[in-house]
Amino acid sequence: MTPRIFTPLVLFLVIGFLIGPFFIIVAASLSGGETLAFPPQGFSLKWVAKVFTVESFQESFAISMLLAIGGTAAALVLGVPASYALSRYKLPFGETIRTIVSLPIIVPGIIVGLALLRYIVVPFGLNITLTLFLAHTALVLPYAVRVVSASLNNLRSDIEEAAVLLGSSRAGAFFRVVMPNIRSGILAAFILGFVTSFNQVPVSLFLSGPGVRTLPIDMLSYMEITYDPSVAALSALLAFMSIGIVFLAERFLGFSRYV
Amino acid sequence: MSDAPFLSLEKLTLAYGDTVAVKDLDLSIRKGELVAFLGPSGCGKTTTMRSIAGLLSPASGAIKLDGADITRVSANKRSVGLVFQSYALFPHLTVFENVAFGLRLKKLPAAEIESRVTAGLKSVGLSNFSARKPGELSGGQQQRVALARSMVMEPKVLLLDEPLSNLDARLRLEMRTELQRVQKETGVTMIFVTHDQGEALSLADRIVVMLNGAIEQIGTPEDIYNRPISRFVADFVGFENIFAVEGGKLKAGNGPIDLSGSLPPDTAGLAWRPRMVTLGSGPFQGTVRGASFSGSTREYLLDTPLGAIKAEEDAALAARETGSAIAFDLPVEKAARLKKFG
Ligand SMILES: Nc1ncnc2c1ncn2[C@@H]1O[C@H](COP(=O)(O)OP(=O)(O)OP(=O)(O)O)[C@@H](O)[C@H]1O
Ligand SMILES: [Mg+2]
């Protein structure tokens, strides 16, 4: 085979492999049949409509939304000052702190979930929702620190000194001249964190108990019982939601600069 | 300009951790003076400025301003302005809001802020740029915004860290005049840092030459230019023929040389600019090794028993041939007498 054919072929296969499943899901969700199948049998929107009537989906969607928004917000509340301190001051063990903060990216979610369940939830009887919230905060924190650090490093530190010499306190300088200049970095971190948290499976899997389930976990258990195309319809809707968010972020913030 | 010191640094020692950057610095500056800090890279100019501004607290010593000890006063309460070498404008604010920043923090009435900012921008010639963001300005314009931002605060002392180094030659000249005008108009006490002796000589009332974290010489531009007191300063301002003196004798290549004139006992060295060397007559003999023409003058490099000598002559005189023997003199009465050689 010549490279002339070989290269486009590899490219085609890679792209097909990456986004093919997405098209399959979308097609399957528009099926007129009763079971999840590809190619779809007939065309209908009934499964898309059904998604909105399943009660457990509504509950778990709300939980996932709350976790994603609350966890990401908490991660930013911790992550922005942390990034600021790491980038502006020579902290003792600064590198170590950076590594520890990045750990949740490196350690497999399954291990984090199991560890939290075995050593926190079970022995201390900690509330599941609270644990889920803490776990999601920890998972998002590395992204928050990395993205916010990137935009802080692009910002010269002498503007803070300039603000101080014009009469501002150190803290005032942070809010008046640092925050406004890293706003798009913070928004980018929020979006990345939101998507990460919303799509999170392995950690949530261990921590989902009766009554408290995130949407991806709920979809897994729904499929075990009811094998109809509504799961595909929901997946497609969520995928479109993520695409929409990232598209808006790219459009207004130049999102890809930060990731 | 009164004679009482307005700003004084007393035995100021500044350090970064264990590294001492400035040691035992004593300096007093009068009200309304325009002072230049001149010195090679790393000699502690920025460090000294930052401590006056309050961004770096001294390891020891004191800073006094307008009769008060401000050594421990925090940077936001000192009434000291600093124009950063990088301008440090706030990128998210318009030119107007940059200049208004400090006035808003002072909670002045809106009308007063408006009028002071407008006047400030007008005085640096940027009235038409008030709605722009710093990113939409040239380097020189950004610098003038930074200047206006500090000036509207009416600081007691305005510090400028290499205010002209990022500008091209034409703008530099323009800003030089600008700075001088603003200083004369407002009478603000000003200290600026520079690497460039020409800038220091043409702008300053007084020049502080620094070396290795200490003051080498303080004086008027005339003092510094004509009467350097150390080998370093002499070299820095263009004395190219510099010799040590020991026991009234010039230490030169082939042993000590007796000088005609008499010298004060504390003379450690003598220095001549190329144009102070007399060519064509004198007690010394040399050979012309090279010549270069620079428009109004011709510069010669001589091989002599004293070592290499640089001399300069009016270009209207006939050129001297390379390789020819020549008599010359180093007139003691013209030389700069150095008290420090080392
Ligand atoms: N943040 C710092 N940490 C440690 N040492 C520093 C720091 N800043 C400056 N120094 C050291 O202090 C000394 C004086 O530095 P300073 O910046 O005051 O020099 P300068 O005269 O302003 O030089 P330049 O003309 O290059 O700006 C130098 O030896 C420098 O290496
Ligand atoms: Mg400097």
Residue A116: pLDDT above 90? no
Mean pLDDT of all residues belonging to chain A = 86
A130: pLDDT strictly greater than 80: yes
Give the Cα-Cα-Cα angle B307, B311, B314 (nearest 5 degrees).
165
- Is B15 in a helix, a strand, or coil? strand
Residue A37: predicted pLDDT? 76
Which ligand sits closest to the CA of B161? 2
pLDDT over threshold 80, residue B290: yes
- Cα dihedral B123, B124, B125, B128 sign: negative
B46 lines ligand 1 (CB under 6 A): yes
ipTM of predicted complex: 0.82
Question: According to the model, what pLDDT value does residue A247 have?
Answer: 84
Q: What percent of chain B has pLDDT over 70?
A: 98
Ligand 1 centre to CA of A145 (Å) is 30
d(CA A250, nearest CA chain B) in Å: 20
pLDDT one-digit tens code per residue, B59-82: 999 999 998 999 999 999 999 999
What DSSP assignment string belongs to A109-158?
HHHHHHHHIIIIIHHHT--HHHHHHHHHHHHHHHHHHHHHHHHHHTS-TH
By C-alpha distance, the chain A residue nearest B91 is A181
Q: Name the residue with the closest Cα to ligand 1, atom 4.
A: B16
pLDDT tens-digit map of B193-247: 998 888 899 999 999 999 999 999 999 999 999 999 999 999 989 899 999 988 7
Which span out of A7-21, A183-197, B97-111 was modeled with the highest average pLDDT? B97-111
Contact B91 A169 (CB under 8 A): no
Q: Is 60 exceeded by the pLDDT of residue B265?
A: yes
- B8 neighbors B64 (Cβ within 8 angstroms): yes
Instruction: Give distance in angstroms: CA of B179 to centre of ligand 2.
Output: 19
Please report which helix (H) or strand (E) contains residue B111, including its range: helix B110-123
Report, as an integer, the average pLDDT of A76-87.
92
Instruction: Decide: B22 and B48 in contact? Cβ < 8 Å.
Output: yes
Name all domains of chain B by residue range, CATH numbers in brackets. Answer: 5-232 (3.40.50.300), 242-338 (2.40.50.140)
Burial class (CB in 10 A: 0-12, 13-18, 19+), B332: middle
Question: Of A250, A254, A259, A235, which is closest to residue A24 (Cα–Cα)?
Answer: A235
Atom of ligand 1 nearest to the CA of B49: 18
CA distance A77 to A148: 11
Please give the distance, rounded to the nearest whole angstrom, from the Cα atom of residue B42 to the centre of ligand 1: 5
CB contact, 8 Å: B67 with chain A? no
Q: Which two tokens stand for residue A5?
A: 């054919």
The candidate with the shortest Cα–Cα distance to B209, out of B51, B335, B36, is B36
- Which residues are registered as beta bridge partners of B244? B251, B269
Q: Would you state the pLDDT for residue B164?
A: 81
Task: Tell me the backbone φ, ψ of residue A64, rounded to 5 degrees.
Answer: -60, -40
Residue B327: pLDDT band with limits 50, 70, 90 = very high
Residue B304: what are its φ and ψ, rounded to 5°? -140, 165
In whole angstroms, what is the distance from residue B3 CA to residue A247 CA? Answer: 67
Average pLDDT, stretch B127-132?
94
Q: Which residues from chain B sit within 8 angstroms of residue A164, using beta carbons?
A: 55, 75-76
Please classify residue A223 by burial: count the beta carbons closer than 10 Å to its beta carbon, then call 0-12 exposed, 13-18 middle and 19+ buried. Answer: middle
The CATH homologous superfamily to which domain A54-257 belongs is MetI-like (1.10.3720.10)
pLDDT greater than 70 at residue A253: no
How do residues B154-177 score in pLDDT, each as one tens digit?
A: 999 999 998 887 777 877 888 888
Buried b (16+ CB within 10 A) or exposed e, B68-106: eebbeeebbebbbbbbbbbbbbbebbbbbbbbbbbbbbe
- Comparing CB atoms, the residue among A156, A167, A181 nearest residue B105 is A167
B56 Cα to chain A: minimum distance (Å) = 11
* b/e burial code for range B193-212 (CB count within 10 A of at least 16 → b): bbbebebbbebbbbbbbbbe
A5-23, pLDDT tens digit by residue? 888 899 999 998 988 888 8
- How far CA A55 is from CA of A58, A61, A69, A259, B301, in Å, comes to 5, 10, 21, 36, 97
For residue B263, list its beta bridge partners: none
Q: Sign of the CA dihedral A13, A19, A20, A21?
A: positive
pLDDT at B37 over 90: yes
Nearest residue by C-alpha to atom 7 in ligand 1: B16
Q: Once rounded to an integer, what is the mean pLDDT over residues B134-159?
A: 92
Helix (H, G, I), strand (E, B) or coil at A246: helix
Per-domain residue ranges for chain A? 1-44, 54-257
Gap from A177 CA to chain B (nearest CA, Å)? 7
Q: Which residues, 6+ apart, have CB-to-CB distance to B199 below 8 Å?
A: B36, B164, B172, B176
| pLDDT at position A254 | 64
B311: which 2 tokens? 């001399």
Q: Give the closest of B54, B75, B84 to A158, CB-based.
A: B84
pLDDT digits (tens, 9 = 90+) for A228-244: 888 888 989 988 988 88
- Residue A249: CB atoms within 10 A of its CB come to 21
- A169–B75 C-beta distance less than 8 A: no
Averaged pLDDT for residues A144-153: 90
Residue B82 near chain A (CB below 8 Å)? yes
Cβ-nearest to B75 among A156, A165, A177: A165
Angle ∠(B50,B51,B52) on CA atoms, nearest 5: 90
Closest CB to A162: pick one of B84, B92, B106.
B84
B245-261 mean pLDDT = 75
Give dist(CA B151, CA B121) in Å, integer. Answer: 10
Ion ligand 2: residues, Cβ under 5 Å: B 46
Q: Round to whole Å and give the CA distance between A189 and A185.
A: 6
Q: What is the mean pLDDT of residues A129-155?
A: 90
Query: What distance in Å separates the CA atoms of residue A216 and residue A225, rounded to the nearest whole number?
Result: 15
